[in-house]
Copies of this chain bind each other. A is one copy, B any other.
Amino acid sequence: MTAKPKFTEQQKQIALIAKALSHPARVYILERLNGLNACCTSGEMIGDIPIARSTLSQHLKELKFAGLIQGDIEPPQIKYCINRKNWCIAKKLLEGFLNTNDSNPQVQCK
């Protein structure tokens, strides 16, 4: 009677990162903060996105919790930026996953 293996930490990590990206509003936020002008406030974003202020706030909170962004207080505003260190970690994990099939020469995406 062999026990069922658990999920690996990596599988759980990848799933968590993917969950953070699994809503269009959060994709938008990350795209915007990754752009050239980089950081901005919730107030600057709200006009460009079809959701209420409080909802945007929740999405920012989630991304912050996931570690992908950080909020630097600049009274009377809060300036949000990508958390570069964690972003790079997440990016590497996800890219590694997307290239799971690298060793198989028959299935490269052209």
The answer on a CB contact under 8 Å between A48 and B5 is: yes
* 8 A Cβ contacts from A1-49 to B: 2, 4-7, 11-12, 14-16, 18-28, 30-31, 34-36, 38, 47-49
Alpha-carbon distance between A68 and B77 when the two chains are bound, in angstroms: 42
A94 within 8 A of B: yes
Interface of A (DSSP majority class) = helix
Alpha-carbon distance between A20 and B88 when the two chains are bound, in angstroms: 21
In this complex, how many residues of chain A approach chain B with their Cβ under 8 Å: the count is 48
Give 1 or 0 for each of A71-110: 1 = CB within 8 Å of chain B CB: 0000000000010100110011011011011011001011
Chain B, residue nearest A31 (CB): B100
